[in-house]
Amino acid sequence: MSGRWDIIDTPKLLSYDDALAVIARLIEVARARGETLRSPVVIVGGTALAAWRIRAHSHDVDLYLPEISADAVEIVEQEFRASHGASFRLDVTTGENVWGSILVRDIASSPVLGTVAGLELRALRIEDLFLLKLASGRARDIADLDLIAARTTADALIRRWNQQTCVSSQN
């Protein structure tokens, strides 16, 4: 034994309110850097599951913004690692491809939750969450399917799949 304790990074689970604080800080940092941001902010992944009260917590903050610099994301990610652990991730995408091969071309029309720091806040549809997690094939995403399925129907999933397929094939 070396006489010291090895520090193990135990990631802090994030509540929806924690995620909102991170998003508000990201917007604040980007604006302070002179970046012009536009609505909407769309939360996705585990953050959307927390917003829809499907799960109480997320391991990271997942969101879509039409435009944001990688530098602003990195600054905020480093800030929150101090309080949320070294494995904290702020996963921001500016593209429609949220996971894998499914494009959510109408991501900006996801349901409105409110506002954050003056920008419209939306959350990915429950049906989109189900379809994207199913398509990912990752064990941790597959584990969420039963929780999500309890909040939708087979008919709603088929309708959404058909909408996504039609939207994708028209572009």
Residue 60 near residue 32 (C-beta atoms within 8 A): no
Tens digit of pLDDT per residue, the chain (171 long)?
A: 445 544 555 668 889 999 999 999 999 999 999 999 999 999 998 999 999 999 888 888 999 999 999 999 999 999 999 888 888 999 998 877 656 677 888 999 999 999 999 999 999 999 999 998 898 888 888 889 999 999 999 999 999 999 887 754 454
Place of tokens 């991501």: 107
d(CA 80, CA 92): 15
Torsion-angle region of 92 (φ positive above 0: left; ψ -120 to 50: alpha; else: beta): beta
d(CA 62, CA 60): 6
